[in-house]
Amino acid sequence: MTRRNLILIILLFTTTFSFAQDCDCKTNYEWVKKTFEENDAGFEYALKSKGEQAYADHNKRILEKVQNAKTLTECTPILYEWLKFFRSGHIAIRLNEQPQQTNPIKSEKQFSDWETYTIKTEDFKKYLDKKKTSDYEGIWEFEPYKIGIKKEDDKYIGFIIESGAETWTKGQVKLKFSIIENKINAVFYMRDHSAQESNKLVMIGNNYLQIGNFSLSRVYPKIEDEPKYVQYFKALNAEQPYIEQLNETTLYFRVPSFDVSLKRSIDSVLNANRATLLSTKNLIIDIRNNGGGSDISYSEIIPYLYTNPIRSISLEFLFYKTKQSTNARSYQQSRIRF
């Protein structure tokens, strides 16, 4: 890949390098390094803070890795590791083009010989209705699937009841797990039928099952759960902000993201609950798994957290203009305040 395949974008909050899929890692590293050194406003600050020797050692270590990288997949994390010398956040490497799949997802017909478990859904429901205790057996939902889980001997088998994926059909085995002498062995098959193994299996309340990194919710039989579990999963799965009154003195405000696309929704929730917010003693703001976003998205929350006067710190851009010479570089800098 040549220099023109790489695009350097320096913004206030994010730096992105985009490149195509064919990769000469050493050439890319040299171009990224030179471009970053000459254009990034924070480069000199990081160099001064950490020292030139630390930077030289970092470059030597990264170059060794770069020389051994043969593919785009190997090269990308190495370049990002180099960038993290300067700062760990608001900087990233992005693919300019998605690599072509060398192993495309197979069609339904190509998995026609996959292991199956056959039981009529109505018969399975009747079986579940007769049970006097609740356990892992049941019908569970994991988008875009409905999965039945049935115990056979010492193993639980999860089979497809409904599928929204073209690679899975009714009756095919989607997951398996066993618990023998408190040892958990679980396997969950992905959309392309590759296996994800895990030794983690947790039942949360009566209606939520965590298998490795996969969370399933019980569809049938629906068993009454403690309010704390209902509230927990409602918050965890929320895609829009909402406010709930927990008791007379406490409000709960869930904000799943500060992405600019949610700015209007956040403001709408605040406006609709303004009187209650001002008259309730305690406010819990839940930002678990919130990946951040735009300052403007949370701007209307600030007045509820601070009393007057409110001090706002504006932004500052630092620009470098580079002049190259045979012996040294000189930098001219200017600042713009907003």
Q: Classify residue 82 as exposed, middle or buried by CB count within 10 Å of its CB (0-12, 13-18, 19+).
A: buried
**Terminal alpha carbon distance of the chain:** 39
Q: What is the pLDDT of residues 2-41, one digit of tens each?
A: 333 443 433 333 445 544 445 688 998 998 999 889 888 8
Give me the sign of the Cα torsion angle 56, 57, 60, 63. Answer: negative
Quick one: DSSP state of residue 103? S
Instruction: Output the CA–CA distances (angstroms, integers) from residue 269 to 114, 168, 241, 275, in the order listed.
Output: 48, 40, 7, 12
Question: Considering only 9-18, 157-166, 277-286, which range has the smallest mean pLDDT?
Answer: 9-18
Show me where the domains of the chain are located.
3-95, 113-220, 238-305
- For the chain, where are the E strands, in sequence order? 7-10, 15-19, 92-95, 138-142, 145-152, 155-163, 173-180, 183-189, 195-198, 201-204, 208-211, 214-220, 242-247, 250-254, 282-286, 316-324, 329-337
Residues in the chain: 338
Q: How confident is the model at residue 287 (pLDDT cuts 50, 70, 90)?
A: very high
Check residue 3 and give its pLDDT: 36
- What's the pTM? 0.53
Mean pLDDT across 238-266: 95
Query: Which pLDDT band holds residue 101 (cuts at 50, 70, 90)?
Result: low
